[in-house]
Structure 1
């Protein structure tokens, strides 16, 4: 919860509030002055308005009133016009570009010359070429817009169409059948007693610093649901919510804060929206006004991509634009054992040996904040007093116990860190406009190639010793007042910092991993495009039932934002995990793309009751038995831009019963998972249309209805799509030791699962197989 009426470090900008503040100037979209069907560019004229106090019937309000400027000299038009350009970059992807930057302002239609059109397109080309969020620069399809006598423009493809109406200005999106998906809101559309509700398409000029923020207002319809916006811990359906997209540490998972905001969302009406910006933005989905979705963007240049189609088609198009997740190495899908924190070579060796002794399948042991000489003091060196032979330890763990090692680190260096003077001397840390250090720590500037090289060199020393993965913790608190090497302030770089950080860590791991079996990162912060650098995990969850539900919400939401792979800390992070909760959470972890035991100790299963240890072992054996299915589904999902852990709405968008369903999910295409969110052993489960087979009992049920289901031996409920063939293998103590001669496909249906012959599912190292994709 934010502290009110007090400015504190890394407070999220709440941009929509400026539109309700007296003294700011509002310019509202009015009409088109001119249109060009060849360049698909229009000039959009705005009218000048201010809020004016109004008393009536013992109430005070501040609606809009047209207002002339008192500016002097009279060089600033009251009715400026700005370019607005449309282009389809794929049959189901529409790009909108516009601005409220004075550099592009016009007083009259004749001011927009061919030379300015060329400069405009060159500006956007350079901007997109340098964008970290895009996987490449999308090119417009060769089209000429249709133009009507009144100056309206329209563009059409096989997937949908867009129309710009001239007066009053409206932008209307339609699907392939001509059905309106959404449209922009004009002041004249309001049926409210006050002309300020809802806010129309407009831009605002702040009285405090003359900065300008555009507002795109779109229609919301009854029953319309909204999904995405990154890893969000609030309700899965964002309808009725307002989100301030600003990376920050929420210190838990039961608040509105986000480690991984993403300016992309999908609508149940068949469209998606991506705001291509790193500036802070506020998305209001009917929170302020029921039938309006309002986006306020913290920069004057606005580029928006609209997507048409089914949820899967939209996610494919979005990830084609911003990048697909590569499939992590096969070994990473095994268990990661961790706590905060293993602190010595003797402790690590003991945990590795005990895992083997207890017959717990495992592939990675993670060392968190305690592997340095001083806890939390990240100097990229194993403590010489507690790790006598780090390279020897890494080699022996790998060869004898088949365990790899992951290491924690962060990009903030406190004044007592031995690397602090080096970072200051080499000018690799962020500074403010006065040349002073930005913040109390030396924060690495990942927009500086020299800082990235320095960082890669630190990681290289560890990776060459045999470290298999790097935990890229933090990254959400890049200072707002810093001047970055890229030439921007924190206003544009704060949200980009996680993406730059993810990229630097991931590429270092990929280039320098020394065992030929790949590497990955374990990242907490993210922005649009970070899905190209897996894996991400859900942060510091409370050890509560609600923490479990909010974690699941977050994973489903991130999956609807273009991320294929995601994990979470089994049992929660903050305090020792209650045994029952830990076991139920572990069940959900088995059916997540990656699973890690982590948090306040103890996390080792032998530290709990013998019954817990036995149940934990069985769950890990189930996980390793399912690894061929998980790996095969990972390849399919990554190629299609889909999550491995997916909301039922993604697969069944026409089923109204799943619109708000957030406590069960599909794991890949064929497994339906219903975790136990409380200590009760039974719960209501919704099975979608079709036939579903209970994993444990073999019972087959008709879908399309709710029923109360009782958990059996598993601490959760698992169903298989009838007719599915699941590739399975005999479990082993690590992925290295899997006997692939035991690989079979098991067909589920007709009451009991039956072998379907030798499996042809993907084995580790095999990619690009069709597998029914």
Structure 2
């Protein structure tokens, strides 16, 4: 009994400490600096200089698509270098131990397939190195032998160098010198070597493979005699947590030099500027998925997700580095910007374990890099249309009547929404896949009430499972052996919201399949087809663990948690998304939100920026945070509108709604202890401003859906930094307070308190932009001061584009399915414009399996607006029609005619000479057929 009471007290203390911590800024002492991380400190102590590694050219082997070469340094342990030329202008570089004493972790399940290779050939070779052709006549890979270095050149231009700073460092696996097992193993190995030597001397020839293995064993033994152990190699302590390292030091490091580059981006997730900063004199950027309460701004601390992709850009070229490693990783960035020298950025990656496996995505254009990365890790999942609409959430709606009351409130105040969310309090004692029987006794009735209004719900399902023998989920996971193990082989347990919890091993495919089966309607009792899922705390979060996460020496089968930590959240979202697909028999597209992520997470749903705060700085930083994610494939991103922690003032709340309405994932969410924030609680004037922002989002849903369709098909981001579309305009390279949605909408949210104006940069020399609210025309390539009031959301449409909207906003997106379109035709200086319209059922996979969709090209040229079929082999019926057309930057026509199906009719029109806008009323033509409108 005393033990039980002690555990209950401990749980209370832990939970109270969590709640208290939530009311304050993050305690940075809970999280390591590089100096406190033994391997980072050890690797960072190495200074740039001549590399200790040399390439052994006599070991070179070349097949059509793969070159191998051994590397050797002073410790005499050989590494194996593998070089691959991949399709799409990608080069892959792998470095591993030639013969490790046990396998090192190589990341599975992130690449969508084994990359397709292309032939390589040796162009030249001498005692200094090897020159390989990477395609074309002028793209070459130079392998310098001593010191080891790789250079990629295009003609006479050096694109990048590897190990030019000499920071390649590969800590080989070894046996600990002060253990009995090591001594026994070394003695046995030595005796066995002598026996084999005697036996081999009686043979006519020696087996080369055995000879090599003997040589490496001897070198390992010699090496261990000379190397001096440093603190943290075999165990280290952080606060009260000890990390045992049975394999000893295993970290890796490699540097990349990018001549001519001043601007680099990527490496999400960090609450910082879009452009990555120089880390000289400070901590490197850290990639280690962590549960960080109320994170700080403008520092390189690790947050909830990690994507080890860095993108470099200058006016000549865009390139990407994809470091495929799921262990804790630190990234140093050093920029040389001496006006007397050519600019250069040096990037150094340091990971705790695994191998070096890096993809060099050589562009040359931004769109090429996005396509190259998508060919490796996949594209953004095509979401259900409704998930692009507005989501209402808090921790927590109290009961079924509370849900119904909030739902009624949106109708009474004429504010559309599609999803209402339930946090952890909806469950039976934090037992996921269950409902609180007192507060949610009839979940199907609640869900049916939402379905009757064509609305949906999201419930939270976290990957920490309450240890309770009466809880079916826990009992089955334990009986199947699906929990992660501790270093001693028992089930790993830690503290989280339910108290004592086990953590399923999502790296196990059998575990993921079982988890997916739990979303079946007969397993997740009370669930229906309009119930979707939110995976939180999946870093994984462990309240009493080191850095609020799992011990690194926990075990996933044969692998330590340290090897794959950053992959855990991806696996949770993967299994959950598959569960939603399976429950529908493979018919319905899933929607799953995840807090933790890695490269490839875009294939499974959406992410958000975690536990932000109701502060202007957090509103402002949501833009570069989502832009960074978009650059590395994760387009479906957003931030908690209003801030999760603290209480926003009305001005901040309104401005956040206005900004959130123009970000990909649009959800209001708040902490348990904050006052309620439903939009009608802030007075009629503020409610009207929030309603207008939400309605603008709904009107633009056709355009958002089109952008996600293209992101899914091509890998191009939905939310784009300006330099992505204007790569030669240096003025755009550091801008991260405005952005593009697709190519055609430029958004500059108001993110400063008491702002009376914003300075907007409109890119594009020779282009024009139109204010979407006033239709005022502005020239491109200029800075523009825009006066703002509380109702202003600065948004501009690019001249030369056509955007489709649905201006009849109803209570949910599904209710707008058959509503008409309004076309906004924004003419360029030559009087032309082009756009697309995409329609499908909005929620199934039939657009892929049965080609049930409409995709049409809209063009305006020579005073003629036309709609033509881009996919003649697809079919989909639609009741939607074109109700109105605005032509911006036009001249007054004498008349307007519509031609469709061979019939010609006149169209009513108006012309506004002040704005130069022609308005066509009621063409009344079906959106899915060919038609032409002629302005005379």
Compute the TM-score of the two structures, normalised by the length of structure 1: 0.84
Question: Residues 215, 11 of structure 1: CA spacing in aligned structure 2 closer, same or farther, 3 A cutoff?
Answer: closer
Of 683, 688, 695, the match for 1:609:
683
Of 128, 140, 143, the match for 1:161:
140
Q: In 2, Cα distance between the equivalents of 1:758 and 1:162?
A: 41
Q: Tell me which residue corresponds to 2:309.
A: 264
Give the aligned CA root-mean-square deviation in angstroms.
Answer: 3.3
Q: In 2, Cα distance between the equivalents of 1:757 and 1:484?
A: 55
Question: Residues 10, 448 of structure 1: CA spacing in aligned structure 2 closer, same or farther, 3 A cutoff?
Answer: farther
Q: Tell me which residue corresponds to 2:419.
A: 364
Q: In 2, Cα distance between the equivalents of 1:341 and 1:263?
A: 34
Q: In 2, Cα distance between the equivalents of 1:285 and 1:412?
A: 36
Q: In 2, Cα distance between the equivalents of 1:757 and 1:100?
A: 54
Q: In 2, Cα distance between the equivalents of 1:473 and 1:506?
A: 14
CA displacement at 1:494 relative to structure 2: 1.1
Render the CA deviation track for 1:1-33: whole Å, top value 9, x for unaligned. 99788888999956431124599xx98223443
Does residue 249 of the first structure (1) align with residue 297 of the second (2)?
Answer: no
Q: In 2, Cα distance between the equivalents of 1:431 and 1:385?
A: 35
Is the contact between residue 802 and residue 835 of structure 2 (CA under 8 Å) also seen in structure 1?
A: no
Q: In 1, Cα distance between the equivalents of 2:486 and 2:774?
A: 63
Of 80, 105, 109, the match for 1:132:
109
Of 289, 297, 322, the match for 2:377:
322
Q: Tell me which residue corresponds to 1:119.
A: none
Q: In 2, Cα distance between the equivalents of 1:425 and 1:758?
A: 56
Is the contact between residue 352 and residue 403 of structure 1 (CA under 8 Å) also seen in structure 2?
A: no
Is the contact between residue 233 and residue 254 of structure 1 (CA under 8 Å) also seen in structure 2?
A: yes
Q: Does the residue aligned with 1:33 lie in a helix, a strand or coil?
A: strand
Question: Residues 548, 509 of structure 1: CA spacing in aligned structure 2 closer, same or farther, 3 A cutoff?
Answer: same
Q: Tell me which residue corresponds to 2:91.
A: 94
Kindly name which structure, 1 or 2, has the bigger radius of gyration based on alpha carbons.
2
Of 403, 408, 428, the match for 1:348:
403
Moved more, 29-38 or 536-545: 29-38
Q: Tell me which residue corresponds to 2:168.
A: 201
Instruction: Show structure 1 runs of 5+ residues with no match.
Output: 49-77, 106-122, 187-197
Q: Does the residue aligned with 1:546 lie in a helix, a strand or coil?
A: helix
Question: Residues 3, 548 of structure 1: CA spacing in aligned structure 2 closer, same or farther, 3 A cutoff?
Answer: closer
Render the CA deviation track for 1:219-251: whole Å, top value 9, x for unaligned. 244652111112321221114142121111222
Q: In 2, Cα distance between the equivalents of 1:721 and 1:516?
A: 37
Is the contact between residue 538 and residue 567 of structure 1 (CA under 8 Å) also seen in structure 2?
A: yes
Of 791, 801, 804, the match for 1:727:
804
Q: Does the residue aligned with 2:693 lie in a helix, a strand or coil?
A: helix
Of 855, 863, 866, the match for 1:769:
855
Q: In 2, Cα distance between the equivalents of 1:491 and 1:264?
A: 20
CA displacement at 1:738 relative to structure 2: 0.9
Of 324, 341, 357, the match for 1:276:
324
CA displacement at 1:379 relative to structure 2: 3.3
Compute the TM-score of the two structures, normalised by the length of structure 2: 0.70
Q: Tell me which residue corresponds to 1:331.
A: 386
Q: Does the residue aligned with 1:103 lie in a helix, a strand or coil?
A: coil
Question: Residues 764, 591 of structure 1: CA spacing in aligned structure 2 closer, same or farther, 3 A cutoff?
Answer: farther
Q: In 1, Cα distance between the equivalents of 2:449 and 2:586?
A: 14
Does residue 432 of the first structure (1) align with residue 432 of the second (2)?
Answer: no
Question: Residues 758, 543 of structure 1: CA spacing in aligned structure 2 closer, same or farther, 3 A cutoff?
Answer: closer
Does residue 47 of the first structure (1) align with residue 73 of the second (2)?
Answer: yes
Q: Tell me which residue corresponds to 1:36.
A: 61
Does residue 170 of the first structure (1) align with residue 149 of the second (2)?
Answer: yes
Q: Aligned pairs, how many?
A: 705
CA displacement at 1:741 relative to structure 2: 4.6
CA displacement at 1:258 relative to structure 2: 1.9
Aligned pairs for 1:546-695 (under 5 A) are 546-600=617-671, 601-679=675-753, 680-689=755-764, 690-695=767-772
Question: Residues 728, 85 of structure 1: CA spacing in aligned structure 2 closer, same or farther, 3 A cutoff?
Answer: same
CA displacement at 1:673 relative to structure 2: 0.6
Of 491, 510, 528, the match for 1:465:
528
Question: Residues 86, 423 of structure 1: CA spacing in aligned structure 2 closer, same or farther, 3 A cutoff?
Answer: closer
Question: Residues 145, 12 of structure 1: CA spacing in aligned structure 2 closer, same or farther, 3 A cutoff?
Answer: farther
Render the CA deviation track for 1:250-294: whole Å, top value 9, x for unaligned. 223434222111111111142211112212222111189985311
Q: Does the residue aligned with 1:138 lie in a helix, a strand or coil?
A: coil
Q: In 1, Cα distance between the equivalents of 2:43 and 2:776?
A: 57
Q: Tell me which residue corresponds to 2:434.
A: 381
Render the CA deviation track for 1:484-533: whole Å, top value 9, x for unaligned. 44421101121111111110111111221489653310111001111110
Question: Residues 467, 417 of structure 1: CA spacing in aligned structure 2 closer, same or farther, 3 A cutoff?
Answer: farther
Is the contact between residue 471 and residue 523 of structure 1 (CA under 8 Å) also seen in structure 2?
A: yes
Question: Residues 22, 168 of structure 1: CA spacing in aligned structure 2 closer, same or farther, 3 A cutoff?
Answer: closer
CA displacement at 1:81 relative to structure 2: 3.7
Question: Residues 579, 651 of structure 1: CA spacing in aligned structure 2 closer, same or farther, 3 A cutoff?
Answer: same
Is the contact between residue 253 and residue 547 of structure 1 (CA under 8 Å) also seen in structure 2?
A: no
Aligned pairs for 1:444-483 (under 5 A) are 444-460=504-520, 461-462=523-524, 464-477=527-540, 479-483=550-554
Q: Does the residue aligned with 1:145 lie in a helix, a strand or coil?
A: strand
Q: Does the residue aligned with 2:690 lie in a helix, a strand or coil?
A: helix
Q: Tell me which residue corresponds to 1:412.
A: 464
CA displacement at 1:406 relative to structure 2: 0.7
Question: Residues 643, 426 of structure 1: CA spacing in aligned structure 2 closer, same or farther, 3 A cutoff?
Answer: same
Structure scoring higher RCO (CA < 8 A, sep ≥ 6) equals 1
Q: In 2, Cα distance between the equivalents of 1:301 and 1:163?
A: 22
CA displacement at 1:390 relative to structure 2: 1.0
CA displacement at 1:201 relative to structure 2: 2.7
Q: In 2, Cα distance between the equivalents of 1:291 and 1:631?
A: 37
Render the CA deviation track for 1:682-703: whole Å, top value 9, x for unaligned. 1211111121111122111112
Render the CA deviation track for 1:593-617: whole Å, top value 9, x for unaligned. 2211111342210111111111111
Of 707, 732, 740, the match for 2:784:
707
Q: In 2, Cα distance between the equivalents of 1:640 and 1:573?
A: 33
Is the contact between residue 625 and residue 728 of structure 1 (CA under 8 Å) also seen in structure 2?
A: yes
Render the CA deviation track for 1:460-494: whole Å, top value 9, x for unaligned. 23484344210011111362345444421101121
Aligned pairs for 1:501-516 (under 5 A) are 501-513=572-584
Q: Tell me which residue corresponds to 2:347.
A: 293
Is the contact between residue 264 and residue 561 of structure 1 (CA under 8 Å) also seen in structure 2?
A: yes
Is the contact between residue 80 and residue 98 of structure 2 (CA under 8 Å) also seen in structure 1?
A: no
Instruction: Show structure 2 runs of 5+ residues with no match.
Output: 1-24, 173-228, 235-247, 338-343, 495-500, 541-548, 848-852, 859-869, 871-936
Is the contact between residue 745 and residue 757 of structure 1 (CA under 8 Å) also seen in structure 2?
A: no
Is the contact between residue 457 and residue 532 of structure 2 (CA under 8 Å) also seen in structure 1?
A: yes
Q: Tell me which residue corresponds to 2:361.
A: 307
CA displacement at 1:93 relative to structure 2: 0.8
